Chain A
Amino acid sequence: MPFIPHTPDETSAMLGAIGVRSIEDLFDEIPAKLRVDGLPGVPAGLSEAAITRLMRERAARNMPSLCFLGAGAYEHHIPAAVWEIATRGEFYSAYTPYQAEASQGTLQLIYEYQSMLAGLTGLDVSNASLYDGATAFAEACLMAVRSARGARSRRVLVPRYVNPVWRKVARALLAGQNVELVELAASAGRTELAALAALEGQDFAALAIPYPNFLGGFEPVDELTDWAHARGMLVIAACNPTALALLKPPGEWGAKGADIACGEGQPLGIPLGSGGPYFGFLACRQALVRQMPGRIVGGTVDVEGRPGFTLTLQAREQHIRRSKATSNICTNQGLMVTAATIYLSLLGSEGLRRVAAQCHANTRALVAALTGLGGISAPVTPYFHEAVLTLPRPVAPVLDQLAAAGILGGFDLSADFPELGHGLLVCATEVRTAEDIDTYRRVLAGVLGVAVAA
């Protein structure tokens, strides 16, 4: 009986103290016909040695590849210190800091995290995390609808090149509340300002702008922001946090800046991890803070006047406000935020800027190498850190052949964005080397039957 400390003697003594004969007796309020004796579908327990061996065997079956795939999750260097510290028992096995005095470690860390995210996004306040980028995007839309002056509209305008999965998730999460996403037309990888004219007179609560967009391209953020603000809409920035080290923060877009920023926190020290856990971030202007979902930590003082930290603005949350809460979120992604805060501290602004710049430079080198093969073009420029290639033939079989050679060649865009032709989204983060890029070039040349110099 793993993880149960009771000796037979203790068990009897405890049963005696309760006044029952057996543990079974403690379940006597469960109607007999509901009780079951065992769990036929569950195998017998394993020792830690046996499960260790099993998991190692299974992990070894997951073949490692040279990764040129991004599309929302990015392979960055993660300093060893990040997870060695984040998995310390005091962080790993604590829960939401309900007892502030016994949780100053987690609380101060979240306060520092909030400060870092506010700084990165150029906004005033941040929450303590949401589940992931996709749900943060959905929550940002809901928050905007709740916040929009007079809430005339439940529609959110979304450029075409938002992450298509995020759009699906948002649709699933917004459907119940009848919030609708309306697509804003685009061409050549970015929103056409001309398309806005057709929308005049229509009501929207908000405009959500990806930054960079799913294709790595740039929307005209300043113009879009001013256009939306002029029409009483809120502006949501859906951004890559690494990019924010280099790019103008949403808080500085246009004349007044975006109102809300959200995104996927994975690039900030979170392993690819087969898809999760990651975390979503959400920041906003001070004026909107009472519409923010999720935990928020604030500074205060104790009875002796010493500074300390505590959960605050809890009246927004489900445990207080119940059906009127800003969201149903309770458990969020605390440990991931712990890791991200350590990551951001280790990188600092200069380190993160270099990571961003090197990602970008590597992706440029990759684009140059692959378009150099001939027959491949890169239709979307400028781009940041991720780029579209148009191949001379269907993408899927090419990716299969690359995968067989141990290369994750990118994301096949043809299903989501057929207008791009045989579109392939590629990415080379700062961890890719010149040799890696050359390996890709040579293997792709082989797949496409192009002759290259070794």
Chain B
Amino acid sequence: MVNTVWLIKRPADFPEFEMLEEEDYIILIQDAVLRPLPENKKWVACKEDVEARNIKVPEDRCLSYEEIIDIIEKASKVVVW
């Protein structure tokens, strides 16, 4: 079980940190992949959106859409930001 999953779409519009809980899961999609987050945070990125933009994101942070669906399934809820 994961907590809230945040799907972040834009590099310049991010939920404020007080909204995020320790166990929350951040998934960067669309242009948000242009702004990878710090190493110590719990985040991943949509692999296809990364590759489409030819951005460098560590391989182990990149998820297929099927893997994103698996995380969504386990989430308590999903917030698309």
Please say whether chains A and B are actual partners in one complex.
no
**A residues in contact (CB < 8 Å) with B:** none
**B residues in contact (CB < 8 Å) with A:** none
